[in-house]
Structure 1
Amino acid sequence: MSERRPEPGLTREIELLWDLREPGRRGPKPKLNREAIVRAAVTAADAEGLDGVSMQRVARELGYTTMSLYRHVDSKEDLLVLMLDAAMEQDPPQPRADGDWRAGIGEWVAGCREVYRRHPWMVYAVVFGPPLGPNGLRWMEAGLRELVRSGLNTADAVQVLTTVSSVVRDTYRLELDMRRAAEAAGSTLAEREHAYALSLRRVVTPERFPTIAAMLDDGVMAAPGPGEATTPTEDMSFSLERILDGVESYVERRRRAARLPASP
């Protein structure tokens, strides 16, 4: 049986992210190099979002011509691939000494939120697949490590990690969109949510929307009190905990089934 070769596009991305296409250099590092280009691009994206990143803008910030950049990065698309991995240089959580995998996933999620807060543009970048770069793989390793500790096999752990990471990313993107809309209206996120609840009360009746009416009566969208969660990402712990409850329940059922004697 012949070995399956990687897809050409993935091979190219691996070579790009791991710098496998360039021979090793001797002597001092040139003043303009790929690392400096990527760092300048990340800084521009942090300040102005992805729309503020172009090869011309990065070249101007570095004091070089645009053509000089193309000697190190083939295209803006390649630059974005490198930016996404570089933005994840923050170290992921280390293994917990007590082996508490749920707390470990909680720390992993908190770390992801911190990365997104530092680099908000990341949640708007198009993602074509799982990570391939050194930093992305470090975060993937850390998340999978905790889920495998729960008793999941690696295949199931990948699926759960994909779900958890999607929840964190999409929730933070929703928060950013809501925050920008609130700022454009001259209010805060909490004020806008409270105004939304007040507006709903004008049209929601228990006869037509009984569950939404009950939600409003429960004060779900009331102004938060001291110490209460005020943003979607701060308020997502309940959903994440229920995902982890499901993992724990599944692993326990599988363990019980493995201990049962076989049916005659």
Structure 2
Amino acid sequence: MIWTRPERTGRGPRPAHTRAEIARAAVRIADADGIEAVSMRRVAAEIGCGTMSLYNYVPRKEDLYELMVDAAAEEHDLSALPTGDWRADMLTVARDTRDLMRRHPWLTRLLSAAYGFTPNTLRHLERCMAALEGLDATGGAKLELLSMINGSVMAFVSNEVAAAERARAVPWTPEEEQAVRNAYLTAELGSGRYPHLAAAVAENPAPTGPHDYEAAFERAVGRLLDAFDHGGSTA
């Protein structure tokens, strides 16, 4: 792991670049053009060094990805936690994580157990666990809750990013597309082939305008917290 290797030894001249500088350059590229645009060659050009020289700082592309995740995780703003109200704190965590992933949509592609224990992600997890002190649950259950919140946020942001990309790519408005899709769905549900689905939709009519991601996000996180608040995951 790159974290177990010293950034520089005590011998020789001071390196011309730092891991932090390299990570920031890679993040800028990914923010502008997507994770596919991040290559050792392009990062090297961004910081003004040769491609082979970059390998002296970052031996593998996987190490570069890990540096990027750590750089992004440094942006978590949980300075007000813990407040003593674990539910409110977890909602803050969810909102903060969503804002972070919106700023860096490529994070949904990289976040995994492989890159989940960088220095800044560990600091973030420690602050979250401190905020969960008031939850009557095992340490394992608390970690599961954090994982579920993170997964829910990733799913929401992925959908938001996909919707935004589609809106830019098609020649019609989201309202026009929603109207056409609602008409198709109404006809299909009226066919009698999907009685259970039709009953569920009848109780919750399809929106006529753009999907309200804000309300859906708050509702989903709230229901997730309800499950833990009611003691269902304390074993």
> In which range does the TM-score fall when normalised by the shorter chain?
0.7 to 0.9
Give the equivalent residue in structure 2 for 1:8. none
Give the Cα separation in 1 of the matches to 2:230 and 2:105.
Answer: 34
8 A Cα contact 2:138 2:234, kept in partner: no
8 A Cα contact 1:45 1:121, kept in partner: yes
8 A Cα contact 2:227 2:233, kept in partner: no
Q: How does 1:158-237 map to 2 (within 5 A)?
A: 158-189=143-174, 191-205=176-190, 207-214=192-199, 215=201, 218-223=204-209, 230-231=212-213, 234-237=215-218
Shift of 1:125: 2.0
8 A Cα contact 1:99 1:149, kept in partner: yes
RMSD after superposition: 2.8
The percent of aligned pairs where both chains have the same amino acid is: 30
Give the Cα separation in 1 of the matches to 2:178 and 2:83.
Answer: 40
- Residue 212 of structure 2 aligns to which amino acid in structure 1? T
8 A Cα contact 2:137 2:234, kept in partner: no
Give the Cα separation in 1 of the matches to 2:234 and 2:111.
Answer: 37
Q: Relative contact order (C-alpha < 8 Å, sep 6+): which is higher? A: 2
- Residue 235 of structure 1 aligns to which amino acid in structure 2? A
Shift of 1:20: 3.6
Shift of 1:240: 1.5
Tell me, yes or no, if structure 1 residue 17 matches structure 2 residue 6: no
TM-score under structure 1 normalisation?
0.77
Post-superposition Cα deviations, 1:27-80, rounded to whole Å, max 9, x if no partner, equal 8x5432322211111100000111110011111222221011111010211101
Give the equivalent residue in structure 2 for 1:246. 227
Give the Cα separation in 1 of the matches to 2:110 and 2:67.
Answer: 12
* Worse-superposed segment, 70-79 or 173-182: 173-182
Give the Cα separation in 2 of the matches to 1:68 and 1:130.
Answer: 24
8 A Cα contact 1:92 1:142, kept in partner: no
- Higher-helix-fraction structure: 2
5+ residue gaps in structure 2? none
Q: 1:189 to 1:75 in 2, by over 3 A?
A: farther
* Worse-superposed segment, 127-136 or 72-81: 127-136
8 A Cα contact 2:69 2:111, kept in partner: no
- Residue 17 of structure 1 aligns to which amino acid in structure 2? W
Q: How does 1:1-264 map to 2 (within 5 A)?
A: 13=1, 16-17=2-3, 19-20=5-6, 22-24=8-10, 30-96=15-81, 98-125=83-110, 127-129=112-114, 131-189=116-174, 191-205=176-190, 207-214=192-199, 215=201, 218-223=204-209, 230-231=212-213, 234-250=215-231
- Residue 86 of structure 1 aligns to which amino acid in structure 2? A
Q: 1:102 to 1:30 in 2, by over 3 A?
A: same
Shift of 1:220: 3.0
- Residue 131 of structure 2 aligns to which amino acid in structure 1? E
Give the Cα separation in 1 of the matches to 2:70 and 2:173.
Answer: 32
- Residue 226 of structure 2 aligns to which amino acid in structure 1? D
5+ residue gaps in structure 1? 1-12, 255-264
Shift of 1:17: 3.1
SS in 2 for 1:148: coil
Instruction: Give the number of equivalent residue pairs.
Output: 234
TM-score under structure 2 normalisation?
0.86
Post-superposition Cα deviations, 1:124-156, rounded to whole Å, max 9, x if no partner, equal 226234721111112212222223322222111
